[in-house]
């Protein structure tokens, strides 16, 4: 019995919802939220499956929050549902002298990311239904991975709201008041909104754009190469 208790103390016990979804919350960070996730940051998803936030994840009380990588996905075939909760950092952005003007600076800046997919070969990843605010670098970062991102609100991050991705699908997201651009992605963008970012609203390198809204940018609202590209 003592041996069993000792082993339980060494290895995190995954928290499952009744539907088999693995849960992520503030309380599990210091021990690791599930097998394969070491204690502390980043929270690492390294197995296929469904994951769900069950609380906000705040990093302001940690040392150098602007440099924290909060959640990283290093497996294919992952569904991450923020479930209406938020990943909240310490960076804040200031704007110009009139209402809804683009931000002029974001501090503190660093290398921190809210949710990232650093594995180039990762596929079948879905991120949805939540908020990311106040990261030192990017809100969402995809490397070269192809991801489906929907119903996310990403704001006041030191650099880009959403960056990277290869042939991704971006549906009904809002990216506002970020220190560089709102979206700098590759793929299909439908029903997204970019507002009051410091440089670009939407910058896309290949794909299809339909029914997106951009406003209050310093450089350009929309930037895209002539081919291969379609804007509707």
Q: Please write the tens of the pLDDT for every residue from 185-211.
A: 988 999 999 999 998 899 887 778 888
Strands 92-95, 103-107: parallel, antiparallel or unpaired by DSSP?
Answer: antiparallel
For Cα atoms 78, 133, 190, give the angle at the middle one, nearest 5 degrees: 60
pLDDT at 14 (0 to 100): 54
Tokens of 37: 């996730």
pLDDT at 224 (0 to 100): 52
Q: What is the dihedral of CA 182, 188, 189, 190, to 10 degrees?
A: -170
Tokens of 207: 């794909």
Is residue 5 pLDDT above 70, yes or no?
Answer: no
pLDDT at 144 (0 to 100): 73
Strand partners, 176: 155, 195
Residues 157 and 109: beta-carbon distance below 8 Å: no
Residues with Cβ within 8 Å of residue 81, at least 6 apart in sequence: 21, 50, 51, 52, 53, 128, 129, 130
- Considering the chain, what percentage of its residues have pLDDT values greater than 90? 66
For 159-183, write each residue's pLDDT tens digit: 999 998 778 999 999 999 999 999 9
For Cα atoms 219, 225, 231, give the angle at the middle one, nearest 5 degrees: 90
* Mean pLDDT value across the chain: 86
How many Cβ atoms are within 10 Å of 210's Cβ, its own excluded? 12
Is residue 153 pLDDT above 80, yes or no?
Answer: yes
Query: CA-to-CA distance for 32 and 207, rounded, in angstroms?
Result: 38
**pLDDT-based confidence at 139, cuts 50/70/90?**
very high
> What is the pTM assigned to this prediction?
0.86
For 56-112, write each residue's pLDDT tens digit: 999 999 999 999 999 999 999 999 999 999 999 999 999 865 666 889 999 999 999
Lowest mean pLDDT: which of 1-15, 32-46, 54-68, 174-188?
Answer: 1-15
């Amino acid at each position: 019995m003592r041996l069993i208790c000792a082993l339980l103390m060494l290895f995190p016990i995954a928290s499952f919802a009744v539907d088999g979804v693995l849960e992520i919350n503030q309380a599990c960070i210091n021990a690791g939220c599930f097998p394969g996730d070491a204690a502390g940051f980043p929270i690492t998803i390294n197995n296929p499956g469904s994951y769900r936030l069950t609380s906000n994840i705040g990093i302001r009380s940690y040392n150098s929050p602007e440099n924290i990588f909060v959640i990283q996905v290093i497996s294919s075939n992952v569904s991450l549902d923020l479930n209406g909760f938020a990943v909240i950092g310490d960076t804040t952005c200031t704007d110009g002298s009139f209402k809804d003007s683009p931000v002029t600076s974001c501090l503190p800046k660093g290398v921190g990311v809210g949710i990232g997919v650093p594995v180039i070969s990762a596929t079948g990843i879905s991120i949805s239904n939540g908020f990311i605010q106040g990261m030192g670098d990017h809100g969402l970062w995809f490397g070269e991975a192809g991801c489906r991102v929907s119903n996310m609100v990403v704001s006041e991050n030191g650099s880009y709201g959403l960056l990277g991705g290869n042939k991704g699908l971006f549906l009904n997201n809002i990216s506002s008041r970020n220190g560089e651009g709102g979206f700098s992605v590759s793929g299909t963008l439908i029903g997204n909104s970019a507002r009051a970012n410091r440089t670009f609203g939407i910058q896309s390198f290949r794909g299809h754009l339909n029914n997106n809204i951009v406003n209050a940018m310093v450089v350009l609202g929309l930037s895209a190469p002539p081919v291969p590209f379609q804007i509707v």
